[in-house]
Structure 1
C-alpha cells in the first residue's frame, strides 16, 4: 500500500476553548438566502472555457504564482494575523492567499457562516464554523493592517476585514476562499450529487463569499458586508471517490469522479456569469492530491477539469509522516530515494509527472511546499529511513512543528540528488523544506514549466525565509508562463 498522504491534522483544528472571551456568542441563524440561480440564457452563455491565466484575472510575480494558505484558526493560539503578512514583507512575495477553510452545511448542503466548534467523532464537523474569526473579532489599531482600530458597530471585522485592508495595500494580491480541507470535506459528495444540489451549493458560496452577504451575528455581517474580500474559490475536496479521507466523510466511489468534474464546471459557469455582470474575472483553483490512488478515484489529472480550473496546486509534502511511527524518512523529497524501503519510492516529482503525463498544462500546476516539518524521536542515526520509537515532540502536536522551530533543531543535512533536507539532534529526526531545498524546487518549477508554488501554511515561516528563497530563483531572470493582466481596483459585485 502507498503512503497515507495525510494533511496535517491541524488543517482544520478548531477548539472552542481557544475562543477566549467569546463564550457569549450565539449560534448563527440560517445563512443569508443564496443568490438567484442562473437564467437559461446565462447558463447557455457560461459554458466552461479553457482557464488560461492570461484571461482569468490571475496574478503573478515574474510570470510565476506563489500561493499561501492562511488558516482561520491561526489567529488564536498561533497569534498569526494578516498584518504579519504586510509587516514581514511576505505579502510582496505572494500572488494569492487561500483562506482556510469554509465548511459545507450538513443539512442544507450550502456554504454558510456560524459560531459552532468541531465536536468529537465523525459527526463533529456538522454545522461547525467560526464566524468570530472570519468577521466578528475586533482588531486594535496596533494589530490592524490599516493601523485603525475596529469599531463596535462596523458590519465587517475579523480576518475578512483585515484581508480587505491588505488588498488595499497590495492591489495585485488575490484572496480565495478555500472550501473543505481535511475535516470539512465531509459533505462535498452530497453537495455535488445532482444538478440541483450543485447549482444550489455553488450559488450559496458565491452569495456568502463573493457577494459578501453574511448572516448577522452579534451585530456583524449583513448584505454585502464582505463584498470585495474574495476573488474566487479554492476547492479542497479530500478526496472524491476515495476512502482515504477523514472518518465519516460521505463518499460515492461510483459517481464522485464525474460529479466532481461537474461541480467544478458549475463553479466556472456561475463565476463567469457573475463576472459578465460585474466586469470582473473570478478565480477557481484546487488542491491536487499526490497519492496515485486518490488521483485516479477523483479523476484529478483529467485535463477536462482544468478547463474549469484556473490552476491547481499539487501536494508535494506529507509523503511520509509519524503515522509510520517506527521509520524516520523524507516527507517532501523532490525525487524518489532508492534507499526508501517502502514500495513506490514516492516523491513530489512523481506526483507532478502524474499530471503532466496525463496532458495537464504545466502552467496550470503549482508545486506544494511545506512551512513545517514532520519528525520522529528515538532515532539513533542521522541517516534517512532509520528506525524510530514514535513521533517527535511538537509545540502544537506530536510529529509536526513549524519551520521556524524545526530550522533550529540539531544539525542540518541535505541530499542534493533528492532535493531533501532534514535535521537531527541525536534523538529527534525532522524532515522539512529548508531554504536550500526550496531553491532546488524553485529551479525544478522553472525547468518543468510549472506555474509556480503553493505553501502550507503561512504561519510556519513568519519572517519569510522560504518565500524569499523561492523568489530568489523565480522572481528574477526569465519570466514564467503565467501572464497576469493589469491590476484593477477591487470593487464589490453589483447585485442582481
Structure 2
C-alpha cells in the first residue's frame, strides 16, 4: 500500500524555501457536505483495534487479505514479524457500537501480497472463482465490503507476475466481484449494499495500465495513494506527498494535483475519489546538502519509511528544523549535523489538501495508517478542516 514504483532522479537543484514561520493557512469555504474518511489499519501492527476513535471515521480498511490458489483469504502469515488474526475483525466490527454508520472492509493485496492478482484475473473462470471468494470473505467475517489493492496491473511491483492482459482483466475482475457482492444484496432482500473500492497508484504508469474510465461502473469509490513520490527506491531526497509541484518541477516525482488530474482525465468521477494522506514520513540519511540547497540532493540511504509517532518529537527540536516549501505546500525537517532529511505531513499541509479537495469536489480522504499517528494529531487536523 505504501510504496510506488517511480524512476530515480539523481540531479542536483536549488530550490527556494521559507524558514520555520508558518504560512497563512487557507480559508476553506463553509460546506455541509459529508466527506468520507477512510482509515487503513495494518493488521500486522502491534495495536489494539478496539481502542480506535471512530467518531469521525466513516470507513475502515483492514490490511491485508491475501490471494492463495486464486481466492481471497485471511492469511495468518507474518508481515513484519507479526501474525495477522481474524480476531482483529471482531474488534473492528465491535466499533460499530460507538459509530453505527461505520463501514468495515478488508483490503486484499498490498505491496507484499499482490502476486496472485494477475493469475486470478486471467480467465472468466478464474475471475469467477476469485469474485466468489471475495463475497464469501465478506459474508464469513460480516464485512461491509471489499477493497482491492493490486500493486500493480501490468507492472512488476514486488516481483509479481504481470502481463499486458492485466489492463482489461482488472476491469473484468471488478465487474465479477461487483456481481457477486450484488448477489449478497439479493440474499439480504435488498436491505444491504456491499461496497467495492480499490487503492490506486498516483502516477501515469498506473493510469496507463488500467481502464479507470470504465471502473466507475463497478466501484463505489477509489482511494488514490498520493504519497511515496520520493520513496524507498530513491537515493535522492525530495517531497513524498506534495500538494503542488515545487519551484523545481522538473525534479519532482509527482504531486497530488497531478495525480487527481490523471484520474479525472482518464474518466473516473471526481466525486468518488478519496485523497490519500500519509501518517508517516520518509527519511534520508547522509544527505549531501550544501548551504540552502536542502532538497533534491544525493543521500547515502534511500527514503525509508518512518511513522509520525516515531519522529514528531524532532519537529523544531533535537537539531532538526522544520522548513516549509510554500510552492509545493509541503513541510520537511532538516538536521545539518546528522545530515538527515525527513519529508512528512503536518497540520499545515493537511489544511491545504483539505481545502483543495473541497474546491475540486472530491469525496473525502483516505489515510495510511491509523496507528502511525501521534495522539491523533494528524487525524484531528484532517477532521477539523473537513468540518469547516
Tell whether 2:65 aligns with 1:102: yes
Tell whether 2:273 aligns with 1:368: no
Superposed CA deviations along residues 399-418 of structure 1, whole A, max 9, x for unmatched, are 22111223222121112321
Distance 1:428 1:251, change over 3 A: same
- TM (norm. structure 2) is 0.85
CA contact (8 A) 1:407 1:434 kept: no
Superposed CA deviations along residues 407-439 of structure 1, whole A, max 9, x for unmatched, are 222121112321211111222110011111001
Tell whether 2:325 aligns with 1:415: yes
> Which one of the candidate residues 14, 34, 37 is aligned to 1:63?
34
CA contact (8 A) 1:382 1:429 kept: no
Distance 1:113 1:333, change over 3 A: closer
Which residues of 2 match residues 246-265 of structure 1 at below 5 A? 246-247=158-159, 249-253=160-164, 255-265=165-175
Return the offset for 1:84: 2.8
* Separation in structure 2 between the aligned mates of residue 259 and residue 359 of structure 1, nearest angstrom: 18
CA contact (8 A) 2:78 2:84 kept: no
* Separation in structure 1 between the aligned mates of residue 145 and residue 241 of structure 2, nearest angstrom: 28
* Separation in structure 2 between the aligned mates of residue 277 and residue 309 of structure 1, nearest angstrom: 20
The equivalent residue for 2:15 is none
Tell whether 2:255 aligns with 1:347: yes
* Separation in structure 1 between the aligned mates of residue 379 and residue 75 of structure 2, nearest angstrom: 33
Tell whether 2:245 aligns with 1:336: yes
CA contact (8 A) 2:49 2:88 kept: yes
The equivalent residue for 2:85 is 134
Figure out how many residues of one structure are paired with residues of the other and give that number: 350
> Which one of the candidate residues 279, 285, 297 is aligned to 1:377?
285
> Which one of the candidate residues 364, 385, 402 is aligned to 2:307?
402
Which residues of 2 match residues 85-484 of structure 1 at below 5 A? 85-86=52-53, 91-105=54-68, 108-117=69-78, 133-135=84-86, 158-207=87-136, 209-212=137-140, 226=141, 228=142, 230-243=143-156, 245-247=157-159, 249-253=160-164, 255-278=165-188, 279-299=191-211, 301-302=212-213, 304-325=214-235, 327-342=236-251, 346-379=254-287, 380=289, 381=291, 383-391=293-301, 399-409=304-314, 410-426=320-336, 427-476=339-388
Superposed CA deviations along residues 352-411 of structure 1, whole A, max 9, x for unmatched, are 00111223211110111100000112233564424243238xxxxx72211122322212
Which residues of 2 match residues 2-81 of structure 1 at below 5 A? 5-6=4-5, 62-75=33-46, 80-81=47-48
Secondary structure of the residue aligned to 2:73 is coil
Return the offset for 1:165: 1.1
CA contact (8 A) 2:44 2:79 kept: no
Return the offset for 1:182: 0.6
* Separation in structure 2 between the aligned mates of residue 69 and residue 284 of structure 1, nearest angstrom: 15
- TM (norm. structure 1) is 0.67
Distance 1:114 1:311, change over 3 A: closer
Distance 1:453 1:464, change over 3 A: same
Consecutive unaligned residues of structure 1, counting only runs of 5 or more, are: 8-60, 120-128, 136-157, 213-225, 393-397, 477-496
Superposed CA deviations along residues 291-349 of structure 1, whole A, max 9, x for unmatched, are 201211122x32x1111000001121000024221x2211111111232553x652111
Secondary structure of the residue aligned to 2:100 is coil
* Separation in structure 1 between the aligned mates of residue 227 and residue 153 of structure 2, nearest angstrom: 20
| RMSD between superposed Cα atoms in Å | 2.2
CA contact (8 A) 1:72 1:134 kept: yes
* Separation in structure 1 between the aligned mates of residue 261 and residue 175 of structure 2, nearest angstrom: 24
Choose 1 or 2 for highest CA Rg: 1
Secondary structure of the residue aligned to 1:242 is coil
* Separation in structure 2 between the aligned mates of residue 373 and residue 118 of structure 1, nearest angstrom: 20
CA contact (8 A) 1:322 1:375 kept: no
Distance 1:382 1:399, change over 3 A: farther
* Separation in structure 1 between the aligned mates of residue 237 and residue 249 of structure 2, nearest angstrom: 10
* Separation in structure 2 between the aligned mates of residue 114 and residue 308 of structure 1, nearest angstrom: 26
CA contact (8 A) 2:229 2:253 kept: no
CA contact (8 A) 2:76 2:85 kept: no
